[in-house]
Structure 1
Amino acid sequence: MIRNQREAGLDFRRPRRLNNLGLRIISGIILGSIVLGITYYGGIAFHLMIAFFACALLYEWLEMAGNRVQQRSRIVLWLLLAVALIPLILNMDASIVVPVALAAMVLGVAHEARQSGRNGIWVSGGIVYALLAAVSVDQIREGAAAGLAAMVFLFTVVWTTDSLAYVFGRLIGGRKLAPSISPSKTWSGALGGALAAVIVGAAVGRLMGIEAGFLLAVAALVLSVVSQIGDLLESAVKRRFGVKDSGRLIPGHGGVMDRVDGLVAAALALYLISLLTGGLHEPSRGLFFVF
């Protein structure tokens, strides 16, 4: 009977794929709207959202690691994350938020290296990843209008890169970017996504009234490239742990880490650029001064 159904052109697996696509679209719109809304208003809601995502990232990393993580290590890493997130949630000065986070990362790596050697370094990568993401995004948002402009720019570049790289890769195809890590990615997709990110990022910056036109285009190119590297690094981590998805926290999408891998890498790069141009306090004011 199944054979006859296939011969007749019937495929009962298609509705499942369509339903999954619909679920991805719906959950993506809902999640994206929530993130954008909270980012716009900032304040305590934004700090709590960042803390939630940091916790989700550490949770997924430890779940991927599985039995490689001892129970004592889980407790230590969660305690270090909690301590590091307190100054961030309370919106303390960057001179406190950044050193506390760095100290938590160093202690986490040192503890795991002592406990499990080389494997422990991979396990402790979870707290490093979570805190780099949390601190970078949190500090980029500091600075009122400049912070908001920086976040809009970051989202625009990363989402444009992700979407257009997929489109160009499907349309053009060609040589694989990193077949041993992510077989579906191509050089045509990577270059097309980067070019699109520069154009769209510069246009959005112009619409927001940001003065640094050329520097913004350069920043868009750097962030686009870094976001794609971040995507590949996350794929490498999943291969290291032997899993396909980082988790199942987002319906239709997989894990949080699967959705923010490029954003985390790009946010870190943008934060470092902002530190060089704007300093430790409200760093986004350097590059994203809005007139």
Structure 2
Amino acid sequence: MKNRGIKIAVLSGKGGTGKTFLSVNLASAAKSSTYIDCDVEEPNGYLFFKPQEVASNRVSVKIPFADKKLCNGCRKCVEFCKFNALAYINHKLIVFDNICHSCGGCVLFCPQKALSEKEKFIGKIQKGTSANVTVLTGILNTGEATGIPIIDELLNYKLESNNLTVIDCPPGSACSVMESIKDADYCILVAEPTLFGVHNLNMVYRLVKLFNKPHGVVLNKCLDGENPAETFCIEKGIRILERIPFDIELGVLNSNAIIAARESEKYMNIFSRLLQTITEEVQNETTVNP
């Protein structure tokens, strides 16, 4: 199936709903694809793909550096910083690297030109291959303030123009998730069949509505009987793309980091069908809003 470079972002309101499970299987179901793990604080897609020929690049940000001879203690930079990353104590300007957000504002505001910038490495990107999938993984160093610079690097990676791209977003609806979905053609929301699952689904539903992104829901771990997440989708008029059953066989595969679509014809059919549905949705959206 020709996907024409579609970018699909997979979201969930919390961890453990099946976001990575869905992402890796969807990427595996395509003829050729790129999987991008934007959950840089706790990436785990590579555990399933086990990529080969892995290359690694470090990611850096710029942080302020003070020249003691030029600084006169005016505290303009301290007043400017909303993250409290600067302090002037005992006639000395102190920069707290771990909470600096690298905005560069303090450098611009310093009337004495006492501040300049230096590179600080905050993590890395790993690139490898796994059968038909190019695997990109972002890894944030422990204790860093934000992973958004790494997410930006991941999403700006030069990709094959005709490939499907599956973006495995961080859980929740914070800034890192917003950054992950900004260029997506379609968003898949993954939900569990519980009242708590509805609460988390509503979080990401409101986010994609805010960004005006085409979207649909995959109901995961479905059981017989009432499904509050399904009821929520019906009430809100959200398209249900697929219902994945609560399946012991699937649980065993997943817990052993085995990609179900590669192991089972049944699941390959499910994810191929899902991919076809989303491709048609994106093509229809392009036709209506060229």
TM-score by length of 1: 0.29
TM-score by length of 2: 0.29
Question: Which structure is higher in RCO with an 8 Å CA cutoff and minimum separation 6?
Answer: 2
Considering only CA atoms, is the larger Rg found in Structure 1 or Structure 2? 2
Determine which structure has the larger helix proportion and give its number: 1
Determine which structure has the larger strand proportion and give its number: 2
